[in-house]
Every structure is written in C-alpha cells, then in structure tokens.
Amino acid sequence: MRKITLAMAAILFKTMLLFGQTTDQEYEKKKLTLQEASIVSSYYQQDGNNSAVTGGEGTEELTDISNQITIRFSKQSETGKRHDFTFVQGVDFYTSASSDNIDRIDSSPSRLDVRTYPLLSWQMTNAEETRGITANASFSIEYDYTSYGFGGGWWAQSLDKNRLFSVEAQIFLDTWDVILPEELRPPGYGSGGADDPLPIDQEARNSYNLSFVYNQVINKRMQVSLLANPGLQQGLLSTPFHRVFDRDLLVMTEELPDERFKIPLGINMRYFLGKSFIVRLHYRYYRDTWEVNSHTINAELPIKINPQLSISPFFRWHTQSAAEYYEPFAQHRPAAELRTSDIDLADLTSTYTGVNLRYQRLKGFFGVENWNMVEFRVGIYDQSRGLDAQSFSISTGFRLPE
C-alpha cells in the first residue's frame, strides 16, 4: 500500500510542476491552470458469517485498499465565465474470502482483484456565480463487469446566495459476466477466470438516476437542504454466483426482478454554534419496488480547535426492512421463482461511528508551500446481522494561489 501511495504522490507532484507554474503573460492569455489536487488512501476490513456466495451462511471476510487522485484545472473566458475541469483516478485492490467460494476447490477469479475507475467532469459558471452547468463521463472495470457513466446538470442560486437549486441526471451502462457457482455450470460453460478458454454469457445492467437539491439559508446560523434522488435500474439485477438453498437444501442461483425503482428523500441541516462548533444533521428515507424501506440518520459535530486544526466526531444509524424476495439460509420455498439470501436485502440495523481529524497550514508542510491540508478519518461499523468492519483513510491536499 505504501509503494502505491508514494507512486501516486510522485505522479501528482510532477503534474503540479508541469501545470502549476504560470507567468503573467500566460494569465493574461487566460491559459488553463492547475488549481488544486488531492490524494486519498483508505483501508477497509470486514468480517461476518452471512455470505450470499454460500447461500446466506459462511465468511464475509473482505479487505480493500483504495487510492484516489483528484486534480482540478480552471480557466476563465474573456466573458468572465469560469470553466472547471476535474479529473479523478481511483484504483481499488481487494481480497474477498467469500467470493473465493464461487469455486469450491480452486481459487475463484474474484479472490484477488483490482478495480480502476477514472472520471472526468466539467463545470461552467457565469461571471456572477449565480448559474452553472455540469457534465461528466466515467469508466469502471473489474474482473466481472465494465461500466460506462454519463451525466450532466444545472444549478442556479439567488443574487444574495441564500437560495440554490440544482438538478442532475446520471446514466450508467454496465455489462456483467454471468459467473455461476461451480456446481451449477452446464457442460462447456466457463468459470470466468482469465486462464479459462470456455465461454460465459454476458448481461446488461443499466441505471438511470436523477438528483434534485434545494438549499435555503434560514438565517446567519442555519442552512437547510432538501434532496430527492429517484433512480431506476434495469437488466441483470441479481448476482448469479450467489447461491440460494431451499428448505430441502437444493442449491440454486439467486434470481431477482429485472427492474427496480428507488425513491430516496432526504433533508440536511447545518447549524453554526458560534465560531468553533458546527452541527450537521442528515435524515434520509428510502423506499423501492422490492419492498425495502429504510431510515438513515447522520450526525456530525465539527469542532474547530484553532485556525489550523479541527476534529469532527460522527455517527450514523440505519435501519431497513427486508426485500420481499429475501429468506435466510435454507428457508426458501422450492417453487420460489424470485429468491435471494443476500444479507444486504435482509431486515437489519447498523451503526457507523468514528472521528475525522483535519489539519491545514497556509504556509504548507515540510517546505512545500502548496501542500496545505492533511486529513485522517477512522470509522467502526457494526451490523445487527453480525457484520463488523473497520475503516481508516488519510487524505492530503494541494492548492495553488488563484
């Protein structure tokens, strides 16, 4: 992990040296310049005993190391419009003991894997900073799927900047390899492994998402935001290598509807308690056509210790009902056409507790003037169905003078 992070840091520094030094003449010509950049590295580890790969019982052990670089460029046109271009490159390295059980004997193709996901976005803001449009394109690839994403949006705020409304649309076009459990593969059907010449099927999964946000400044201390994020998924929504056992212990593959409509609604509140304290509260209600209903509450209390240092304890509570197609291990009716034992679709309650520590220096760190931020985040996740997880992340930011 250390070598990966250092390599990404080296790439970032070289990019800043290449784009970050501009002359007065270049500024007069309004050249594209680097404004800010950041690196985030995180470690996530979980364990439990409700793996969907083995029918609702078995290890859920997983480890993920994630690294992400974000770089933002900016340019101002002769009419005063500002153009921001943001490039994000993420790479995840993970091991999954549960996915390794797709094959009973040999290691499965998902035991060790890499996910890479670049994203490019653009935003244009008018000279008064009251209107803007956005667009983005993304790509993601893993051992069993490829995804293409496209999106765009529009936002506007009042002249006094007390009210803001935004709308955004996003489309993801995914192609999945239909990997089956070893004992359920028909003759001549492949495993999905890189060294297996036998063919496997591929299926599409498309997602269409909308986002509506309205933000209102109530007074000098309080802001409130209303959010709605309806979404529609179509195509292969089950995971074929998830096993399901009926009451007679007959093994089958997971089968779910080929369409799912989601309606998440939320409200955010931010309240300033003097110069050193901020209260952030978020509530979300979720419902979908699979009969999953959930409630989520987030609370965060950023505390400013001094102008450079802040600490933010946070807490999230979540509860949900089960999808109508869910049953635990060996509880499905033999005739059930739609079925899953994926614990993510069960009724459950979970908490996520942690703290975020942020340190900023206007003069930079270790003689690097543009290196102005370091942030640490630690969290502990606990689920009523027995899943436990821990996460740790470190991020660092670089910013050039305007």
What confidence score (pLDDT) does residue 402 get? 58
Question: Which alpha helices (H) appear in 92-161, and where do they start and end?
Answer: none
* Alpha-carbon span 144 to 176, nearest angstrom: 6
Q: What is the four-CA torsion angle of 25, 26, 27, 31, rounded to 10 degrees?
A: 160
Q: How many domains does the chain have?
A: 1
Closest CA to 315 of 295, 300, 296: 300
Would you say the C-alpha torsion 93, 99, 105, 108 has a positive or negative sign? negative
What confidence score (pLDDT) does residue 105 get? 62
What confidence score (pLDDT) does residue 107 get? 54
Which residues of the chain carry a pLDDT beneath 50?
A: 1-29
* Alpha-carbon span 65 to 5, nearest angstrom: 10
Question: Bridge partners of 114?
Answer: 93
- Pairing mode of beta strands 62-76, 303-304: unpaired
- Residue in the block written with tokens 């802001």: 223
- Burial code (b: 16+ CB inside 10 Å, e: under 16) for 31-69 equals eebbbbbbbbbbebebbbbbbbbbbbebbbbbebbbbbb
* Alpha-carbon span 271 to 249, nearest angstrom: 54
Question: 302: buried, middle or exposed (CB in 10 Å: 19+, 13-18, 0-12)?
Answer: middle
Distant-in-sequence contacts of 343-346, Cβ < 8 A, 24+ apart: 343/48, 343/50, 343/52, 343/56, 343/60, 343/385, 343/387, 344/52, 345/290, 345/292, 346/50, 346/322, 346/385
What confidence score (pLDDT) does residue 110 get? 55
Summarised one tens digit per residue, pLDDT across range 192-222 is: 877 889 999 999 999 999 999 999 999 999 9
The gap between the terminal CA atoms of the chain, to the nearest Å, is 33
Helix, strand, coil shares, percent, the chain, to 5: 10, 55, 35
What confidence score (pLDDT) does residue 102 get? 86
Residue 184 DSSP class? G
For 390, the domain range is 2-399
What confidence score (pLDDT) does residue 18 get? 41
DSSP line for 215-234: EEE-SSSEEEEEEE--EEEE
8 A C-beta contact, residue 82 and residue 75? yes
CATH number at residue 109: 2.40.160
What confidence score (pLDDT) does residue 99 get? 78
Single-letter amino acid code for the residue at 261: F
Question: 282: buried, middle or exposed (CB in 10 Å: 19+, 13-18, 0-12)?
Answer: middle
- Burial code (b: 16+ CB inside 10 Å, e: under 16) for 205-240 equals bebebebebebebeeeeebeeebebebebebbbbbb
* Alpha-carbon span 158 to 390, nearest angstrom: 42
* Alpha-carbon span 133 to 154, nearest angstrom: 4
Residues whose CB is less than 8 angstroms from the CB of residue 342 and which lie 6 or more positions away in sequence, other chains included: 52, 56, 239, 242, 254, 326
Closest CA to 264 of 238, 236, 292: 292
Instruction: Classify residue 386 as left (phi > 0), alpha (psi -120 to 50) or beta.
Output: left
- Reading the block at residue 71, the tokens are 């770089």
For residue 92, CA distances in Å to 43, 72, 136 come to 10, 21, 21
